[in-house]
A and B are shown apart, each in its own frame.
Chain A
Amino acid sequence: MAEPDLKSIQKKVSAGASYRKIVAAAEAGAPICVASAGIPNEVMHAMGVCPIYPESLAAISAGIGKAGEFFDESRAHGLSNIICSYTRCGLGICWASKTAFGSIPRPNIAITDVNICCLHLTWWAYLEDHFTLPTFYMDMPATTDPGAPEYIDYYETQIREMVAFVERTTSCRLDMDRLHQSVRSSDLAGYYWKQMMALRRHRPSPMSFRALAGQILPLVTALGDQDAADFYEALYHQYLADAKEGKTPAQGGETYRLIWDGIPIWHHLQVINAFEEKGANFVWEPYTSLNWGNKTSTGRLDLDRPFHTLAEKYTNVWNNKPIAKRFEYFDQAIREYEVDGLVMFSNRSCRPMSIGQHELVQLITERHDLPVLIFEGDQADPEGFSWADARTRVDGFIEVLEGRKQRGRQR
């Protein structure tokens, strides 16, 4: 069988395509669900429910400079600026009933997780309350041991209850054959994503974090869809070829290999390019490597136990791991990816991702003599962000890296 053509398949899973799918699904009478990014998309896909992801839409809006009107909308509704910018922008999108691409159909139901971020609970409770939407909460108590069997079992019951909720509130029914197909597609998408991440060990790494920040979208919005699996398979082969040819986004060759911690700065993704212009390339991020894909112990989904395997995957939440465990991941990545420095994005919108960064840096710098650059800002709201200041910081950091390289050569 011929490998899927990357360009043609990319068009099927782009942000614009995902918007058009929502519109088409609503026209065809499929239920529209306002969903948070941490719930099993595979099940919704198998049931024929079409999700709208406010967080993704907020990131996309910020990425193309069209989030302003949604922030204005949220201010008009009494939302303080201290609230997460995804929440403000996402609610703005719901109030305005439109996205950066055009108007969106009225949703029929809502489903959220309650653990990745506590605000999800209140945010979806607001949607339930304000838009009188039947809403389901995928319960996942706070924990420091997400791999505990009873914890995974509890979430498995939540997935089954989610199915019951969808069947109760829509005309959709779960077909187990479709669920198996959906999990199979998701597994392949996750598998190829993982393979792509592994390619970044290659010197030079062929990938740009900026490109990955966009390419991650189908892992959030389209898991279960065969198009997503085809896309990642084609993308993997493209990057494999690039790696063999020694391609790199780092200009003048890959001189420095870096880690980025945190969500991308969607409103100023060019920060990543600023590093690349100076020969620095991001080769590992918890966001890309640990937050998405097949987060099971085997790295694959167990097709014979679809509910259980999804429970294992979705309960494996980075933020629920103690700082010592998070450090182990960094420690391993620093060694395996031969990292020269760290960039930590201290994100005022995302407290779960930012609390503990300082302690993590302490542990990392105790074991590895690496320079660390800390950016403070917001993932989607550009207010207070200075591009000139960011560039100065990048330049200064590169000078530090260069100084270290030179001292290393002299030794």
Chain B
Amino acid sequence: MIARFRERFELRHDRARALKRQGTKIIGCFYGLAPKELVHAAGMVPVQLVEDRDARYEAKSGLLPFLCGMSKNLAGQIAANVLDYVDGVMVSTVCDTNRHMLDIWVHQRAFPNQWLVRAPAKDDEGAINYFTNELRRLAGELGAVSGTPVTDDGLRKSIALFNENRALLRRFYDARPTAGLSAEDAVYVFASALTSPVEEHNALMRELLASLPPGAPGSDPKLMLSALNIPMAVDVIRMAEKYGATVVTDDFTHNARYGSTAVPADGDPFRALARGYLRTVPAPGLYSFEDRAARIRDAMERAGARGLIYLIQLYCDAYALEYAILKERFDRWKLPHLRLEAEATPSSIEQLNVRVQSFVESLV
């Protein structure tokens, strides 16, 4: 069962191409704040653009050396035609690099369609009004590309489907610490949500939750991993396990965070979507630090984790600054944590070995 999540993630390009052959349009989302419900309501499939572990991509990217590996990797994938199935890309700002990658993609005509989500940084009435209008504008443009206009009813159905996905992911994270599931497998449960049609992922999740076997508790110390880059995270999980630790829960941009808050289901669905995205998806500066730190602490408590690894991709200034802010609270709470900062390459990650080992040993 669990292998099917991994397969869906690892074969995401092939599966997307198969969908495209059937006439479905695919829209790339870069990244967590892009309103996928809108794409879905326009009859298209939103897929998250995520990094591949392949050094050739970074070499092909042609980007500045001091940009994060994720952007370089994606630029390399585009140069290598890996994303040839993407009919359009929707960029929602999390950091300067992700926002300005759009400038390059527009210049290169990398995708047939490009949209910048003009999302306010606030969530007051003025911001919600502005964003509601922006979502209506985007819906019009998406509908023009797909040929399926976004209707209120259609958008309500899409919101309900993605809310179901969020609820299923929440249930999964509640069950995960005591389930017989490896940390690496758990990563693919949410990672596949980023790249699969939501109906398909919901069905898989229901099946998984109905059959999740209870497992023996993992070895101590138990850890939580906060990360962004999926291949890097898998490397660090393996490294921690090598030294006897178990990663019992994690916090990526898109699992605990994306799944944490449902989009309101009442009233005007565009307005509901605006309320559901503004300052509710944890991203640096766009979310309360108090809440963010508390969520990490609470998730650790629920999962029985004694230490936190906060993994930053090199040159990701947004999360590097967020860490410095969260650190003050972690220190105050005496929450053991380890900040790791590395390039998303095997050789760079290998250098983290000693630090992970000593952190694990400090918790034993």
The answer to whether A77 touches B121, judged by C-beta atoms less than 8 angstroms apart, is: no
From A122, A123, A348, A355, contact of B101 by CB (8 A): A355
The answer to whether A139 touches B122, judged by C-beta atoms less than 8 angstroms apart, is: yes
From A78, A154, A161, A355, contact of B324 by CB (8 A): A78
B-side contacts of A114, CB under 8 Å? 121, 285
From B64, B103, B316, contact of A346 by CB (8 A): B64
From A43-51, A55-63, A124-132, A223-231, the one touching the partner chain is A124-132
From A81-89, A99-107, A214-222, the one touching the partner chain is A81-89
Instruction: Return the CB mask of A132-174 against B: 1 if under 8 Å, else 0.
Output: 0000010101111000001100100100010000000000000
The answer to whether A323 touches B104, judged by C-beta atoms less than 8 angstroms apart, is: yes
- Chain B interface residue count, CB cutoff 8 Å, equals 53
CA distance A139 to B316 in the complex (A): 23
From B63, B99, B316, B318, contact of A142 by CB (8 A): B99
Instruction: Return the CB mask of B103-135 against A: 1 if under 8 Å, else 0.
Output: 110111000000011111110001100100110
CA distance A246 to B103 in the complex (A): 41
CA distance A129 to B332 in the complex (A): 14
The answer to whether B107 touches A323, judged by C-beta atoms less than 8 angstroms apart, is: yes
Nearest CB in chain B: distance from A95 CB, A = 11
Chain A residue, CB-CB nearest to B131:
A141
Nearest CB in chain A: distance from B178 CB, A = 34
Chain B residue, CB-CB nearest to A143:
B118
The answer to whether B107 touches A129, judged by C-beta atoms less than 8 angstroms apart, is: no
From A79, A143, A144, A355, contact of B96 by CB (8 A): A355
CA distance A130 to B328 in the complex (A): 9
From A139, A157, A322, A358, contact of B64 by CB (8 A): A358
Nearest CB in chain B: distance from A83 CB, A = 5
CA distance A125 to B103 in the complex (A): 27
The answer to whether A142 touches B315, judged by C-beta atoms less than 8 angstroms apart, is: no
Interface on A for B, CB 8 Å cutoff? Answer: 77-80, 82-84, 87, 114, 117-119, 121-123, 125-126, 129-130, 137, 139, 141-144, 150-151, 154, 157, 161, 319, 322-324, 346, 348, 351-352, 354-359, 376
Q: Contacts A119-B318, A143-B118 given; 5 further ones with Cβ under 8 A?
A: A78-B339, A144-B103, A323-B104, A351-B317, A352-B100
Give 27 CB contacts A-B under 8 Å: A78-B324, A79-B321, A82-B320, A83-B321, A114-B285, A118-B99, A119-B95, A119-B96, A125-B289, A125-B325, A126-B324, A137-B122, A139-B120, A141-B120, A142-B117, A144-B102, A154-B126, A319-B100, A322-B107, A323-B106, A323-B107, A351-B317, A354-B66, A355-B100, A358-B63, A359-B107, A359-B108
